[in-house]
Structure 1
């Protein structure tokens, strides 16, 4: 991503200098992708820092965690001066960015934590940028970096999301939604493939059709293209040759942790993370796999591709709603408008979609919590989709296909539309064995019962 962003910035008329501690990478970049460009390369950090005009704007694109702290320490030792700006454009944890902003201020330079979404192509052509950190640094940096950002209807896909880690918090939520949607897409593909017996090119046709309607999005379009791509050597669909293990770098786990920390339910994001972990247990899956089981493989699927598409649409809508709930919690901490996240997600980023565009419009003119507003405005649509979502979950289970994203989205929605849940029994049993107490309908205070007996 670093190379693409450097090329993007240079193409907008900016003078760019790059540094990497591995000299071979710098030399190769200058000779190949940056050949003939106004880009200078350095392998000595002090020389790199000295080459920049003050106040300096330095972008970090390194692995999250200790490498970022090490890079910041190295830059400080290499000649950073008061007023310089260092922007961490990697996928850092928001708490780390909270800390780094304070540490930077104590050393005289300004820190930005910038969530950048768009992948390799987005970095080159225009990503979505979610800024957090020192506000004065944001104002100065956005004047330059904003020129390289994605644009939607003349609006730059950049915004400020508060002090410290606000920008990285929004990026973590973005990635959590991405996890959920990817899992939902994979489940739809699995049903088309193993349930309806479609080959990859046929499934590609279905995804392509979906991408022309309410499911229009980068990820659904990407699924269609990936399914249609063939291996040049064998002529087989490349996707069918890829090992069925989904990797992850940590932002999905952080979204799950944020859900627990802020008390914002996000079950579909949680299931997407868990299912990636399950995918890596190929040894266990191999031992438990069997050619035929009662109620398992060999029983024909009963749904149409249209039914599957409706279930996918419902799951995607509910995934965005769960992400909005996380954003509502983060907005209280970092003091940003949730609608701004959906605004900058309309172009450049991985989760850009028709749903994002429509959601921004409704949130911009609405008020209150974003998750509540999304669910209320789409309630009629969700009610219409509910039978097909339930049928998809049921039929997938009947023929032995896991559908954790769809099933968790279904349970999430059914719970939210239930006036009364069985949580009263949970609380009663908690009081029975642990004297945790409970509240009573229509009465003030916390109560406790001896239940006539006590567990050991």
Structure 2
């Protein structure tokens, strides 16, 4: 499939939805691509789309029919990008490249959603065969085509070779406003603005940051969906009316890609009777694991991420459709009273503030998790840079990320986003409406696990004296786990002999 005299800048393996669009993005930015997929038709489709978009008689992409042919097409030292499913597929490709003659100074970039610990192990496993680098990609197929957010990590030497390529194809933002610089047409190139690609750290760090990004994404999506249900079931609004509200919200502090696409989904109609599509979509949510990985990591590191975990649970409970339908006929909920116009407007205003505050807490949980992971794994993460990367190209891109960037620029050692002056002021200002919205949801019997857990997180974080003193007493009673005392040195531990009549206390 390839001419012997073809010499390309980049090899690309895996031409699914993401891979094909990344290839075309690379080609738009002037890089020559040698492309391979086990499914030859995907190679042909990529070449055909490239020719159709450019109108040129020949493609900017060279098709290859084997790993050996791919390597033969590349300028040494070879640079090869993988866009294959996480797990065994990555190792299969790596082993095939070894068999095809890849060299120790060649670089292989894994752009899939690999579990970060797998990336660490792969770097060790293949270090004598080639340089394994990872670069998580966010933004879906549109982001891949016109500018994704990229989270690269691995050997610093590899980054020096990859950096100009990644910064060329990444999404760009206006440095002053933090707003994306749109690129929507094939062949367009954006050379201005700040690229949403920056080195994250050693092997695994980039995939960890992308994992947390996806955990926040789970939470953000669930928060929006809970607002949708409150407006649909609580107020009785139609899909178009909810879309109008979301569109209005999207012109303020809630402006985001997820709010924008929610409006489009709600407005879309199908069929002869012009039925809103959202009413025909089965309410069973899928998931690919990254939200679960984030929740598990938070438990392992002992840092709270309840809103992210609740978003995962919400997807899980949605899968029990038959059970929920049965329970709906057995378990009673409250009667919802009709709203007058003034009450409706107050309800909507309160819900807006609840979403805003819950969103702040979800991001705070994600960034605190990354901060704990940084300490645990001896990384050096630049949180202002991470927030910058997420301002465009990725799924959670939002105007909201500009003040997060500024918060970590003001204080790189910020322990929790809630402690930043700007966000503390926002939460203090809007928390009453947040509470009213959560109370409304409870009184109407509408589940709001994400929004409500975010409020509990907020209240727990501002609780100078928690009930954990009683908990420690309970633990010492049944398990002699000991406890510290507020009136003694923190290093000293005590135990009460609960089974004795005197119940005397001893220092352990």
User: How would you bin the TM-score normalised by the shorter chain?
Assistant: over 0.9
Q: Where in structure 2 are the equivalents of 1:26-425 lying within 5 Å? A: 26-35=43-52, 36-107=58-129, 109-153=130-174, 154-290=193-329, 293-295=332-334, 297-300=335-338, 303-332=346-375, 333=377, 334-372=379-417, 374-425=419-470
Partners of 1:58 and 1:40 in 2: CA distance: 14
Q: What secondary structure is seen at the aligned counterpart in 2 of 1:58?
A: strand
Alignment: residue pair count: 452
| Cα deviation code 1:81-139 (max 9, x no counterpart) | 121110100001111111112223232x1111111111100000000100111111111
Q: Tell me which moved more, 310-319 or 41-50.
A: 41-50
Query: How far does residue 376 in structure 1 lie from its aligned partner after superposition?
Result: 4.6
* Structure 1 unaligned residues grouped into runs of 5+: none
- Contact preservation (8 Å) 1:359, 1:374: no
- Contact preservation (8 Å) 2:414, 2:420: no
Question: Larger Cα Rg: Structure 1 or Structure 2?
Answer: 2
Partners of 1:400 and 1:131 in 2: CA distance: 44
Cα distance, 1:288–1:368 mapped onto 2, change above 3 Å: same
Query: How far does residue 351 in structure 1 lie from its aligned partner after superposition?
Result: 0.8
Partners of 1:267 and 1:375 in 2: CA distance: 20
Are 2:41 and 1:24 aligned? yes
Partners of 1:320 and 1:376 in 2: CA distance: 16
Cα distance, 1:22–1:233 mapped onto 2, change above 3 Å: farther
Cα distance, 1:410–1:353 mapped onto 2, change above 3 Å: same
Query: How far does residue 281 in structure 1 lie from its aligned partner after superposition?
Result: 0.5
TM-score normalised by structure 2 residue count: 0.86
- Contact preservation (8 Å) 2:382, 2:412: no
Partners of 1:236 and 1:268 in 2: CA distance: 33
- Contact preservation (8 Å) 1:61, 1:88: yes
Partners of 1:401 and 1:202 in 2: CA distance: 19
| Cα deviation code 1:48-70 (max 9, x no counterpart) | 12211111111111111121112
Partners of 1:81 and 1:414 in 2: CA distance: 55
**Superposition misfits of 4+ residues, deviation over 6 angstroms:** none
Partners of 2:102 and 2:351 in 1: CA distance: 55
Query: How far does residue 300 in structure 1 lie from its aligned partner after superposition?
Result: 4.2
Partners of 2:281 and 2:417 in 1: CA distance: 39
| Cα deviation code 1:431-452 (max 9, x no counterpart) | 1111111111121311111224
Partners of 1:67 and 1:144 in 2: CA distance: 25
Q: What secondary structure is seen at the aligned counterpart in 2 of 1:116?
A: strand
Q: What secondary structure is seen at the aligned counterpart in 2 of 1:112?
A: strand
Q: What secondary structure is seen at the aligned counterpart in 2 of 1:401?
A: coil
- Contact preservation (8 Å) 1:59, 1:86: yes
Partners of 2:252 and 2:446 in 1: CA distance: 26
Q: What secondary structure is seen at the aligned counterpart in 1 of 2:81?
A: strand
Query: How far does residue 233 in structure 1 lie from its aligned partner after superposition?
Result: 4.6
Q: What secondary structure is seen at the aligned counterpart in 1 of 2:407?
A: helix
Query: How far does residue 245 in structure 1 lie from its aligned partner after superposition?
Result: 1.0
Q: Partner of 2:505 in structure 1?
A: none
